[in-house]
Structures are given as structure tokens and as C-alpha cells.
Structure 1
């Protein structure tokens, strides 16, 4: 019995004894019981549970403070230490890193309030390319159907080149009518201001006057004869009245012809001549206006430039004077004269002035820099972003075809240095006004 009991007891112990892995797990669980390990009462555990959230809050606050300081430094508000001899990474032509804020200053911007040294990098900021002169071309004071188009997008055109033709039937008829009115006015004025009366006209007027005088004498004799016969009773009163009326008519005709002969000898009156001259001037003005409208049926390029967009095509009705009909035919610009528009924060605008040297690099190819100069600072600020727009004039290299790479609306990086821009005739394509530009 004792042997059996001992055997069963040993078997039970062998079944209850844990494996090595189970013992390791039990030890880890016991280590996690802080109260038992530290030998503290349950009350101390509750006090630790109260302070643990505050400790976590303090750690989170310290972590966020570190993140804020790092973002403050990366935002460009604290400039890094300058490189050798005060140069910056962007001075070699490579764009520096930008802050995540739109239009914000780069990390190479000097500390606000400091006086920049000559040649120092003042600002490096993103901008967009815009044409210095862009024209939305439309017919001038005329409307009609487009009959012909002689361009497409991207074509380079010369000033005065015909780009489109508008149907000109109505304007051509108006021109012919104005020509006829001028001819009639000239003939009338020439008739009134003749140098001398022709002999044939004078002889004709004198003959008509003699004929009228003879008729007047005959009518007078007829009245006298009828008056003498009235006493005998052979002439009625009606016949005598009719003869008397013929006498008065003959006298009036003689007076009119005498006055016409006098006017023919004296010439036209000054008032009639001046009125004819005014009519001629009016007719000539109408002819000039009709000719101008007829010429405007051919839409010509006002400048040398490149066609950017085509708005109308053959068969389209264009009318600059109507709100319900398309007014333009195309838009064009001179791509040899490009500018970059940047938004400068108000706290940095005091460093920017006209005439500063710039470097423009397109995002499409940063290794293709362009020389540029600060052209003007806009007179009004943008209160929604607290920035002031600045225009930078870009000079294309000699030999580069305008529009071959740098195009309107491209994104670029503009770097502004604290030194005056000097135009180089050996490398820069001129704008034509370099002799009138002086830095501030």
C-alpha cells in the first residue's frame, strides 16, 4: 500500500511539474507584478496610477516643443551658418531647399532685421513666367463672319502680317457710296467757284433777256390797243384783264433775267461757296471712315510675336461690340520679352529694390539659368496672403529662339542678390530700353 501510494504521489508531482518554457512564462508574469516585486502595498499602486498620466503629458509636451523648434528652424526664420567666405548653396546656381509654405522664404534667406552685405543672397522664391505684353486680338470696330485664317498656335508672326479676313461686302458698298458723295460735292463746289463765266453762257443769258424785253413791249402794246377799243364796245373786260396780266408777267420775267445776268457776271455768293466747301469736307470724312473700316476687314498683327491661342476659326461670327458673340480671334505675345512674377512677404519687401541682379531657373531644367533684373514692385499689396507682387525682367541669351524653352506660365525659381544688374551686350538679348534703365 505504501509503495502504491508513493508511486501515485510521484506521478501526480510529475504531472504538476511545469516545463522549462512554462516556468519562464511564470517568472515574466511575476516580474510584471510591480506591487509584489517592490513590496509595496496596494495603496502605493493607486498613487502611481494617478501620476502616470501627468508624466505622459509632460513627455508629449517636450516632444512637441522639439518638433516646433525644428519646424521653426526649417521654415527659414533662422538662417543657417554661412558657408566659406559667406557664400550660400544658391550662390553657385543650385536652388536651395524651400519651406513647405507657399511662397515662403528659403533656408538661405538672411535673418530679418540684418543688413545684407553686397553680393549676398537676399531671397530665393518660386514664381511664374508671364509675357511682358500680351494682346487679345480682335477686329477693330467691325463685325462679320471670318472668311480666312492664316495662322495656328505657336506661329511666329511679324508686325503688319495678315492673320485673318472678315467678310467685307457691307463695308465695300459703304466705301463706294462715300466715293460718289465726294465726287458730287467737288462738282458742286467747282460750279460755284468757277474762275470766269464762259462766253456762251453770258450770250445765252443776254439773248433770253432781250427776248423777255420784246415780249414785255408786245404785251404793253396789246394792253394799250385793247384799252382804246374798249370805248367802242368791241372788247370785253375779260380780254382787257388778260392782256394786263400778260403785261405784268412779261415785266416780271424781264426783271428775273436781268438779276440772273447780274449774278452770272458777279459770280456765286460767299455763303453758298462756304456751304459747298463744308459738304465736301463732310463727304471726304465719310470716305476716310469707310476706307478705315474696309481696311480693318483684314486683321493684322500689331506686334512681332507668337500666337498663343486661337479663339475663332473660319465661319465664326465675331463682333467686338456684342456681348453675346465672340469678340476675339487669337491671343499673341512677344516671347522675347518675358517676366517672372513672385510674391514677396511683406516683412522682406524692404530688401528688394529695382535694378537688383537676379537668377531665374525653370523647374523643367534647373541647370539652364537665365540672367534677370528686378523690374518693378507693384504699388498694391495682397492682403489675403500678406505679400507684395514683384516683377522680374528676364533676358534671354543671344541666339536662343524666343519660346523655344522658356514659356508663359512655367514655374521657376527666382534668386535675388544684393548687387546691381549690369546688362551684357555679348550675352543678353536686348529689350531696347537698356540705356534708359538705372538702378535705384
Structure 2
């Protein structure tokens, strides 16, 4: 029995030693090298086809004319616009308040002019009546004066009753008093008319100034309207309705003009990029314009991008579309 146990223990030790040796052998055996398949290098003159985005060459930027909040943009990117068309509005509460106050000032100034003119009409009517009364009183005074002078001469000669003389004297004095009073009233009314004329002139001058201020306020307020400076195609709008706008933002709205001159922007892999150069010929294929492609020229190769310039024969081709540029490797 003891011999069996010794035999079993010996076999176990042998197997353990064999397993350890195998493990050691496998660890020491060099790994099989991984084969790297090299990317084939395209020979010079090979054509590559790269997809990119079309952009406009001639751009006009519409800046923000004032600080405020974008109120609305009745146009959107891709819309055709004409010169003078409203592209959007910027709300500025200060300008609105100023324009409203200017309107109130004009209304008050106009009311003062209207009131002064009404007073002038009434004063002229009163002056006309007073002038007529003064003229009548002056005629009565002149008649009473002549009668008094006659009675005075007769009284001196004793050729008229004293009572008649005294009555002529009383009539003369009463007529003189009335004439003087009405003449003074007429003079006062004439001065008032002249004063009202001056008041009206001053009120009208003030009104003109207020109207000028209102026009300026309206002009400032109208500057919140963004107008298209040229005919063209809206490329982008930097803000949305409700967003704050800072005065002077240069590219609030971008408009493309002369869509016959376009560019295609490509971003090839570095190995391809370094085998392209500015000035080399190329072609541009647009799905919307079937054919063999449009002749083009590489404008620049920099900053990881290739820019191809080409002329578009159709208004169907627009900025933002996708196209395929074909170039030959150097």
C-alpha cells in the first residue's frame, strides 16, 4: 500500500514539472510578427474625387446699426432679396421712448400755435370793432367840436342862449371823452394783435424745432430697420428673434452677390493634401447640373483645406450646396 502511494506522488510531481517546463517554453518562444499591409501610393497624375461645400466669393456684410434686441427677420438664409428690402428689425426701447416724447412735444407745440392763432383771430375781430367805434366816435367828436366852437362864438357875441351854449359844451366834452377812450382801446387792441403775431411766429419756430427733433427721432428709430444694401442671396443671419444685438456687429446678416463666381471648399487627407498645389486645374461636378463637370482652378491649399474657384453658368447652383471636386495628384 505504501508503495502505491509513493508511485502516485511521483507521477504527480512528474506531471507538474512537465507542465511548468511547457509554460516556460511557450513564454520564451518569440511572437509571430504581424504583417503590415502598406497603402498603395497613387502615381502622379492620378485623379481624386473629393466632396465639399460650395460658397460664394462676393459677400456683403450687413452690420448691426444699434444696440437692442432682434425683433424679427422676415427673411431666412437662401432667400433672394432686393436692394432696400427690409431684412429685419432691432428693437430699442430708448429710441422708442425718445420718438414718443418727441411726438408729444410736437403736439404741445402745435396746440400752442393753434391757441395763439385763435386768440389772434378774436383779437383782430375785436380790434376791427373797436376801430369802427373809434372812427364813429371821432366823427361825432368832430361834429360836436364844430358845434361847440360855433356856439362859443355866438355866446361871446350874445347871439345864442346860454343854455344852448352849455349844452354844446357838454356834448363836445362827452364826445371828446368817448373818442379818446375808444381810440385808446383801439390802440391797445392793435398792440395785442401785434403781440399775438410775434407769439405765433415764436410758437411756429418752436414747432419747427420740435418737428425737426421728431424727424431725427423717427430717423433714428427707422435705423432699427435692417435694409438690404444690394440685390443678392441671404447666406446667414447671426442672430435669432429675441436675442440681444450689439451695435457694430459686422456680420449680422451676410448677403452673397454675383453668384456666377463661386468656390468649392475641400478637406482632403494629409497624404492627398500635400500632393496638391494652387493654380493647378480641376473640375467641379454638381448634381443639379449634369454633365462632365465645370472647369475650375485650385485657388489655395492651406490650413488643411483646398479651395477651388469656378464660374457657375446657372442660378441653380447656390452657396451651401454639395459638389464633387476632381483633381490630379502631383
TM-score by length of 1: 0.34
Higher relative contact order (CA 8 A, sep 6+): 2
TM-score by length of 2: 0.43
Bigger strand share = 2
